[in-house]
């Protein structure tokens, strides 16, 4: 088993203060590292623990594998695989284009981690000058194929300088489900500060810590999510670079996300919404390490409940399938020690995951066709964040007696 690199030395990546341990998941594989039998010997594990910094208020992984191990030539996540996400990004783009903050008649938009171009195509289609920055070559190639101007690279201060030289300042810097992936986030924020035009805006969204705590959705914790943000932590982080949080908007995507809107200081009024959100965060305890103990206890309970339900079904001789081989499911399967003794297979629509095994627990990933041809008795909703879309699509399975299991917001069968 190759060793992990100890990158953080247990210090907060923002304040450099000691981190307080919130949860220890033990050795975990990479969430997206679906593998073949031949790759068993070189499977990579690292100790997954999350900590909290009382000063920056940042909830974060204590150690993290090198980004190059995670976002590489064969990165398995394609944003375009969900129809709902396509619609979400169309609306996201429209909200920018129609926004009072987007006033330059010839705007330039930069997206960090543009993936397969699911967001930027909405700008490209309107002939808006844009650049996607995407480190994973295979997904960036998909973006290029649909006409997105794409740079295959990690975004950081150096990249920001290069973009500035070549294209000039950006009127909007966007990111979706990207910022929470970046360990050296201070360097990225510095790059954003440099690249942003005086009246420009930074708009990004990521899974929201408030939802993770209220829904016990601990599966949002995996190698790629080095941070789970709150309004508090984002305000503190950007404040270090004289960037101001001017608005936040709750989103339903990814099981509960938050969109953050930031600008250079004193350029725009601060939205009245912020006060309410900060009050909610205060009451939930997102600013106080001691309050996370309840969350840790809820996670333990969720594990016990899920394993008990699966064992009950298995003892009754039922065939159990996982629905969607998500990165999130890697945390659940490994933390709960659920292997193919409990879940027979996982069905997924992403071609490069097919006929592979899930990271760590080695459950076979099979085609969606297989699920349709031989429906299981029970399906575990690993893509619980796409529940509405999936239940709509799988009416036939449900109507013919198929059962669903979810663990969010608590473990249940329906």
Tell me whether residue 407 is exposed, middle or buried, using C-beta atoms within 10 angstroms of its C-beta: 0 to 12, 13 to 18, 19 or more.
buried
Pick left, alpha or beta for residue 216 (phi over 0 → left; psi -120 to 50 → alpha; otherwise beta): left
Sole window of 4-12, 127-135, 145-153, 378-386 interacting with ligand TYD (rule: CB under 6 A): 378-386
For 89, 178, 224, 267, 365, the CA distances from 75, given in Å and listed in that order, are 21, 14, 12, 38, 16
CA dihedral 168, 93, 241, 152 (to 10 degrees): -60
List 286, 390, 408, 411, residue binding ligand TYD (CB under 6 A): 390
Report helix, strand or coil for 375.
coil
The CB-of-412 to ligand TYD minimum distance in angstroms stands at 19
Which C-beta is closer to ligand TYD: that of 390 or that of 411? 390
Residue 157 binds ligand TYD (CB under 6 A): no
Report helix, strand or coil for 9.
coil
Residue 380 binds ligand TYD (CB under 6 A): no
List 262, 385, 404, 411, residue binding ligand TYD (CB under 6 A): 385
Residue 407 binds ligand TYD (CB under 6 A): no
List 4, 193, 386, 407, residue binding ligand TYD (CB under 6 A): 386
List 58, 232, 348, 404, residue binding ligand TYD (CB under 6 A): 348
| β pairing state of 378-381 and 403-406 | parallel
Residue by residue, DSSP assigns 129-159 as: EEEEE-S-HHHHHHHHHTT--EE-S--SHHH
Tell me whether residue 317 is exposed, middle or buried, using C-beta atoms within 10 angstroms of its C-beta: 0 to 12, 13 to 18, 19 or more.
exposed
**Cβ neighbours for 128, distance < 8 A, ≥ 6 positions apart:** 97, 107, 109
Residue 389 binds ligand TYD (CB under 6 A): yes
Sole window of 6-14, 45-53, 189-197, 347-355 interacting with ligand TYD (rule: CB under 6 A): 347-355
Number of amino acids touching ligand TYD (CB under 6 A): 17
List 349, 364, 370, 377, residue binding ligand TYD (CB under 6 A): 349
List 93, 136, 150, 327, residue binding ligand TYD (CB under 6 A): 327
List 383, 405, 408, 411, residue binding ligand TYD (CB under 6 A): 383
CB atoms within 10 A of CB 245: 23
State which of positions 58-87 bind ligand TYD (CB under 6 A): 77, 81-82
Residue 326 binds ligand TYD (CB under 6 A): yes
Residue 324 binds ligand TYD (CB under 6 A): yes
Q: List interacting residues with ligand TYD (CB under 6 A).
A: 77, 81-82, 324-328, 348-350, 353, 383, 385-386, 389-390
């Amino acid at each position: 088993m190759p060793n992990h690199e100890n990158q953080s030395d247990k210090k907060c990546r923002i304040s450099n203060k000691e981190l307080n341990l919130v949860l220890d998941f033990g050795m975990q594989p990479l969430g997206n590292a679906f593998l073949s039998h031949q790759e068993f010997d070189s499977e990579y594990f690292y100790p997954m623990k999350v900590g909290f910094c009382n000063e920056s208020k940042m909830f974060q992984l204590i150690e993290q594998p090198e980004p190059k191990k995670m976002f590489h030539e064969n990165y398995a996540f394609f944003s375009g695989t969900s129809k709902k996400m396509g619609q979400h990004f169309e609306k996201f783009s429209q909200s920018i284009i129609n926004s009072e903050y987007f006033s330059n008649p010839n705007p330039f938009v930069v997206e960090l981690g543009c993936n397969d171009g699911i967001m930027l195509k909405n700008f490209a289609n309107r002939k808006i000058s844009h650049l996607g920055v995407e480190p994973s070559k295979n997904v960036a190639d998909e973006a290029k194929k649909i006409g997105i101007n794409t740079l295959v690279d990690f975004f950081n201060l150096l990249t920001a300088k290069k973009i500035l030289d070549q294209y000039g300042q950006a009127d909007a810097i966007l990111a979706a489900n990207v910022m929470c992936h970046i360990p050296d986030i201070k360097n990225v924020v510095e790059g954003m500060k440099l690249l942003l035009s005086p009246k420009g805006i930074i708009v990004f969204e990521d899974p929201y810590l408030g939802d993770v705590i209220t829904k016990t959705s601990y599966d949002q914790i995996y190698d790629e999510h080095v941070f789970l943000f709150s309004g508090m932590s984002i305000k503190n982080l950007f404040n270090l670079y004289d960037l101001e949080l001017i608005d936040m908007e709750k989103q339903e995507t990814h099981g509960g996300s938050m969109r953050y809107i930031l600008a250079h200081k004193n350029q725009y009024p601060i939205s009245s919404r912020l006060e309410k959100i900060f009050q909610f965060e205060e009451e939930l305890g997102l600013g106080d390490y001691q309050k996370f103990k309840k969350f840790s206890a809820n996670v333990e309970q969720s594990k016990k409940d899920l394993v008990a339900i699966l064992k009950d079904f298995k003892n009754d001789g039922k065939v159990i399938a996982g629905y969607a081989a998500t990165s999130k499911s890697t945390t659940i399967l490994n933390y709960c020690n659920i292997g193919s003794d409990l879940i027979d297979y996982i069905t997924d629509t992403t071609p490069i995951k097919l006929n592979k095994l899930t990271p760590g627990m080695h459950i076979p990933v099979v085609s969606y066709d297989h699920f349709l041809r031989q429906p299981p008795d029970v399906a575990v909703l690993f893509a619980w964040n796409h529940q509405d879309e999936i239940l709509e699509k799988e009416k036939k399975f449900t109507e013919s007696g198929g059962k669903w299991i979810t663990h969010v917001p608590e473990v249940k069968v329906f």
